[in-house]
Chains A and B, each alone.
Chain A
Amino acid sequence: MSAKVQVQTTINNEPVEFLCEPRQSLLECLRDIVGLTGTKEGCGDGNCGSCTVKLGDRIVTSCLVLGVEAAGQSITTVEGLAHGNTLHPLQKAFLENAALQCGICTPGFLIAADALLQKHPQPTEEQTRFWLANNLCRCTGYDKIIRAVQAAAHEINANSGAAQ
C-alpha cells in the first residue's frame, strides 16, 4: 500500500477534497471515497461507458482515469445533472420516454448525452447513435434512449428559443 495523496477537485460545482492511493481510479474515488455511487462500473476497462463522467470540458470513462489525475479539475457526475429538485431535461425525457429498464447504464448515458447536446444542440439520429456508441445498454435496444435524447434536445431548444 502506498502513501495516500490529497486531491482537490470540484465535483458537481462543490469543492471536494479527498485522499486516495495513486493506483485508485477516479471511478473508485468517486464511489468508494467521496460516496457518489451514481456513477456505475460495468467493465473496468473503458468499454461499457457506465462510468462516464465529465472531467473538465470532456467526457471520460472514469475507470480509465486515475483519481490523482482529477486534481484541480471540475467533475460532473449524474448526481450533478439536476438543478435542485428540477430534473435536467434529459432526465425528464428518459423517464417520459421509458428510456431505461434496469437503469444501470442510465447515469453514463445521461452524462454522455448531455455532452452531445452541448456540442450538437439538435443532433440527427445518426449523430446521436454515433456519439452514444461508447455506452452499452443491454435492456432497451437503444430505441427509446435515442428518442429520449432527441426529445430532450427539442425541449431545450424550445425553451432557449422562448427565452430569446
Chain B
Amino acid sequence: MSTPTYNVIGTRPVRHDGADKVTGRALYGADLQLARMVHGAILRSPHAHARILRIDTAKAEALPGVFAVVTAADFPPAPADKLVDFGEGETPLSSLRGNILASGKVLYSGHAVAAVAAVNAHVAAEAAALIEVDYEPLPCVLTAPEAMAPGAPILHDHLPNGNIAETVHYEMGDLAAGFAQASLIVERELDTATVHQGYIEPQNATAFWNTDGRIQIWCSTQGSFVARDATAAVLDLPVSHVKVTPMEIGGGFGGKINVYLEPVAALLSKKAGRPVKLVMSRRDVFTGTGPTPGSRVRVKIGVNPEGKITAAQAWLAYEAGAYPGAMVVPGAMTVFACYDIENILIEGYDVVVNKPSTAAYRAPGAPNSALATETVLDEIAEKLGLDPLTLRLRNAAREGTRRADGPRYKRIGCVEVLEAMQASPHYNAPLPGPHCGRGVAIGFWFNVGLPSSATLSVNADGTVNLIEGSTDIGGSRASLAMQAAEVLGLRAEDIHPTIVDTDSVGYTGVTGGSRTTFATGLAVHDAAQLVVEQMKARAARLWAVDQVAFANGVFSSNGHSLSFADLAAQLGSTGGPVSCSATVNPKGVGGSFAGLIVDLHVDPETGKTTVLRVTSVQDAGKAIHPSYVEGQMQGGTAQGLGWALNEEYFMDAAGDMRNGSYLDYRMPTALDLPMIETIIVEVPNPGHPFGVRGVGEANIVPPLPAVANALYRATGKRLNRVPMNPATILGL
C-alpha cells in the first residue's frame, strides 16, 4: 500500500489561537467580567467523614455585601432514586448532587457544604466562615484494602457490598492449565498513591439565571455539552434551559469533565439575581476535585522457557474516593492489553473511601495496572536472561489478538512501537556510569469516539470559517483546521476555527479520550467533503458541464479551471453562500500504544533520583500536527515521571490532606526533567480518513513501570510502592 502524500497534514503551522495566547488576550474562565457580577466562595468540610446535624446560614446572610447563600436544601426536589446518563452509564442523581453540595453526611475533607455570593471574593470568604455547621464526626477509612476489610466504616448505606461499589471480572481460557505450562511464574503486588491531574488553572464557573428561566454558564470545561447536561440534571431542568459557553481552558487531563461549580453558581445567581462567578483556590482544587485513584494491584504471570506468556492473573482494588467510579474497569481492561495471552483471569474492585471523589486522569486506571504487569515482565526478562523488549515482542498484541474484556484488535501498532524502541539511539547508547539504570515499559489506551459536529462556511475571499464545539486544550484548533485545509486544498491559515457555545453548534462530546483530532476531525473532514461537492456543483453551473474534478485546491473540467479562492469569489452569483455541517458518531476508533525508555541516576546516600534521559514512543496513527503530537507525548511523560517519583496526597489519620499546595504537592519543574525525546510511530487507523488514532493518553501509562524498572537496575531493589521517592528507595 502506498503512503498517501499530504499538503498540510504533517506540517507544523502556528496554531490559530497562538497570537491571543502569547499576548494575554485569550479569555479563560476566571478572566470573564460581566456587569453587576458578584463573587462566590464555597464552605468545605473539615472532616473526612461526619454527619451534618445543622447548618445555620443566618450570620452569613446578615453580613453586608452578601447577596445569596445556598446549601443542598436549595436543590429543587427530585425523586430520590432518579438516575442520570451522559452517555457513559447511569449515575444516581443523589451521588451527582451529593458531591456538589453535601447532604446528610460529608464524605471527605474538602467536601462542599454551602456557598455564598457577595460583592467581592473577600467578603464571600468572610461570609462563608460565618456559616455554622454542626458535625457528628464518624470514623474514616482512607485506602481500598482497609475499606474492603470487615468492620470498616461504611460510607454509603445503599451499596449492597459494604464499600465495594462495583466488581469487574474478565476470564479467558484456562488459567490453571496455563500456569501448569509455565516454567517460571512471578507474582508481585504494587501500591500507588493518590495523585492529582495538576492542571494550572483552577476550576471556575460563572452563571446567570435569567428572568426567562434560562441559565447561561461560562466555564473552563473539557466538554461544554457534558457541563450543560450535568448542570441541567443536577438542577432538574431540560437541557435546553442551559447554555454553556466554553472559555479557554487551562489544562484538564480528564479532571475538567465533571461539574463542581456550575450548578452552585446557577443556584447562587437565581437567589442573587445577578451573574455569579466562582473560582476555586488551589487547595480547593486539591481537596475538592480530581484526583486519580490510589490503588493496590497484584499481578501473576507465567512464561515458558522461550518467554511466551502461558497465563496471567490480576487482582485490582482502586479507591473511588467518596462516590463510586474508580476507573477500575479500564484498569482491568488494560492490565494485559499489550499482550497476546490465552489464559487470563482479572478481578477488580471499585472501593469507596473518605477521599475526594476521583475523576479521570489521562488514560484513567491504566498506569496503575500497567505498573504491576510491566514490572513483573521486567523481572521475568531478567530471570530468563532476555532483553526486556524482546520478551515483550514475543508476546506483543497484534491485529486479531483478543483482549480479555472481549474485543479483537483491528490494525494496531504495538509491535511497531516496540521495534522503534529497540532501534532507537537511546536504547542503543551506553549508560553514563555507576548507580544508573535504564528501564523500559509499554502501555495501551483505547481512545474513544463519541459524537462531534462541525460547520464550514466559505468566505468570498477563499478562506473558510470552521465552527466547532471541542474545547481546545492543546492545539486542536490547528489539528482540526489542518484536516479541513487538506480536504479543501487550502493552507492551514486559510481556515478560521471558532469554538462556540452549546446553542450554536451540534452536539459535541468532551475533549477527552484522545478523541478530538480523531472524532471532531472526522466531522470536519466530512463537512469539508460536502463543501467540495457543493463547490463542484457551482463550477458545473458556471461552465455548463456535468463533471468537475477537484485536486490540490483547483476545480477543473474540459479545459476550464478555477482555484478554490476564485470560485469562492463567484458564489454570490452562482446561487449564494456555501455552508456545510456534519455530525459524526464514529465507530472506527483506533487504540494507541506507547512506550518509554528512561535512564536514571540514584544517589545512594540520599535516595534522590535524577532523570538523565528519556524517550517517549507512541503510535499516532497519523500525526496531523507533529509538534502537538510530540507535546502530548512529552506532557504525558512528564506527568508520569512526577507520578512515579514524587507526587502523592499526604493524608493524616483524620483524612486531612497535609500537602494541599504546589509547594508541598511538588510537581516536576523545568529543573527536574531533561529534554524529552520523542519517536512518533505511524500505523494508520483504518477507521479515520487520514489514519488518526489520538495521542493524548497512552503516553502516561509507561512512565510508572519504566521508572520502577530503571530504579531496579540502578539500585537492585524491586520497590512495591509509587511514588518511588527517596524515602521508598532508602526503605525509610
- Which residue numbers of A lie inside 8 Å of B, CB to CB? 1, 21, 23, 31-32, 35-45, 47-48, 50, 77-79, 81-82, 87, 91, 94-98, 100-107, 110, 125, 128-130, 132-146
Q: Does B713 contact A (CB under 8 A)?
A: no
The residues of B that contact A100 with a CB separation of less than 8 Å are: 18, 21-22
Given A101-B473, A129-B673, 4 additional A-B pairs, CB 8 A: A42-B662, A82-B23, A98-B475, A136-B200
Most chain B CB within a 10 A radius of its CB, from A21, A50, A104, A107: A104
Query: Closest A-chain residue to B22, C-beta based?
Result: A91
Q: Known contacts A39-B24, A41-B30, A141-B676; is A47 also within 8 Å of B663 by CB? A: yes
Asked if A106 contacts B21 (CB within 8 A), the reply is yes
Alpha-carbon gap, A44 to B675, bound state (A)? 29
Which single member of B22, B625, B631, B669 contacts A106 (CB below 8 Å)? Answer: B22
Across the interface, do B24 and A138 meet the contact criterion of CB distance under 8 Å? no
Counting from the closest, the 9 A-B pairs by CB-CB distance are A38-B24, A104-B250, A141-B638, A101-B474, A141-B634, A98-B627, A103-B21, A47-B662, A37-B31
A3 to B667, CA, bound (A): 39
Contact B627 A95 (CB under 8 A): no
Query: Whose C-beta in chain B lies nearest to the C-beta of A100?
Result: B21
Segment 187-203 of B: residues with Cβ below 8 Å from A: 197-202
B550 in the interface, Cβ–Cβ < 8 Å?
A: no
- B residues near A106, Cβ cutoff 8 Å: 21-22
Measured between alpha carbons, how far is A114 from B47 in the docked complex, in Å?
45
Given A47-B663, A132-B670, A142-B673, A104-B22 contact (CB < 8 Å): no
Interface 0/1 of B664-688, CB less than 8 Å to A: 0001111111011000000000000
The reply to whether the CB of B181 lies closer than 8 angstroms to some CB of chain A is: no
Chain A positions within 8 Å of B197 at CB level: 138
Q: Is the interface of A mostly helix, strand, loop or mixed?
A: loop
Residues from chain B with Cβ under 8 Å of A104 in the complex: 28, 199-201, 248, 250-251
- Find chain A residues with CB under 8 A from B279 CB: 41
| B707 shortest CB reach to chain A, Å | 15
CA distance A100 to B670 in the complex (A): 14
Q: Which of A105, A125, A139 contacts B631 (CB 8 A)?
A: A139
Chain B positions within 8 Å of A43 at CB level: 282, 661-662
Could you say which of B248, B250, B631 contacts A140, with CB atoms under 8 Å apart?
A: B631
B669–A40 contact, CB under 8 A?
no
**Is the C-beta of B228 less than 8 angstroms from some C-beta in chain A?**
no
CA distance A37 to B28 in the complex (A): 9
Q: Are A146 and B670 in contact (CB under 8 A)?
A: yes
Give min CB distance, B330 to chain A, whole Å.
22
Point out which of B23, B198, B252 has the most chain A C-beta atoms below 10 A from its C-beta: B23
* Residues in chain B near residue A21, CB distance under 8 A: 122
Chain B residue nearest to A50 in the complex (CB): B200
Question: With A133-B671, A143-B676 as given contacts, are A95 and B23 in contact (CB-CB < 8 Å)?
Answer: no
- Residue numbers of B with Cβ under 8 A of A are 12, 14-15, 17-19, 21-28, 30-31, 33, 65, 122-123, 197-202, 248-253, 279, 281-282, 473-475, 625, 627-628, 630-632, 634-635, 637-639, 661-663, 667-673, 675-676
* CB pair B250 A44 closer than 8 Å: no
Minimum CB–CB distance from A145 to chain B (whole Å) comes to 7
Provide the bound-state CA to CA distance between A91 and B15, in Å.
Answer: 13
Bound Cα distance A139, B675 (Å): 14
B200 touches A138 (CB 8 A): yes
Q: Tell me whether A48 and B200 are in contact (CB under 8 A).
A: yes
**A79 engages B662 (CB within 8 Å):** no
30 contacts between A and B (CB under 8 A): A32-B33, A37-B24, A37-B30, A37-B33, A41-B30, A50-B200, A79-B23, A82-B23, A87-B19, A87-B22, A95-B14, A95-B19, A98-B628, A98-B631, A101-B631, A102-B199, A102-B200, A102-B473, A103-B17, A104-B250, A104-B251, A132-B670, A136-B669, A137-B670, A139-B474, A141-B634, A142-B673, A144-B627, A144-B631, A146-B670
CB distance B670 to A144 under 8 Å?
A: no
Name which residue of chain A comes closest to B671, CB basis. A133
Q: How far is the CB of B306 from chain A (nearest CB, A)?
A: 38
**Are B22 and A133 interface neighbours, CB within 8 A?**
no
Q: How far is the CB of B60 from chain A (nearest CB, A)?
A: 16
Assuming the contacts A78-B23, A101-B628, asked whether A42 and B671 have C-beta atoms less than 8 A apart, the reply is no
Do A129 and B33 touch across chains, with their CB atoms under 8 A apart? no
User: In whole Å, how far is B724's beta carbon from the nearest beta carbon of chain A?
Assistant: 19
Chain B residues within an 8 Å CB radius of A125: 675
Given the complex, which residues of B lie within 8 Å of A37, measured CB to CB?
A: 24, 27-28, 30-31, 33
Set of chain A residues within 8 Å of B248, measured between Cβ atoms: 102-104
Q: Output the nearest chain B residue to A137 by Cβ-Cβ distance.
A: B200
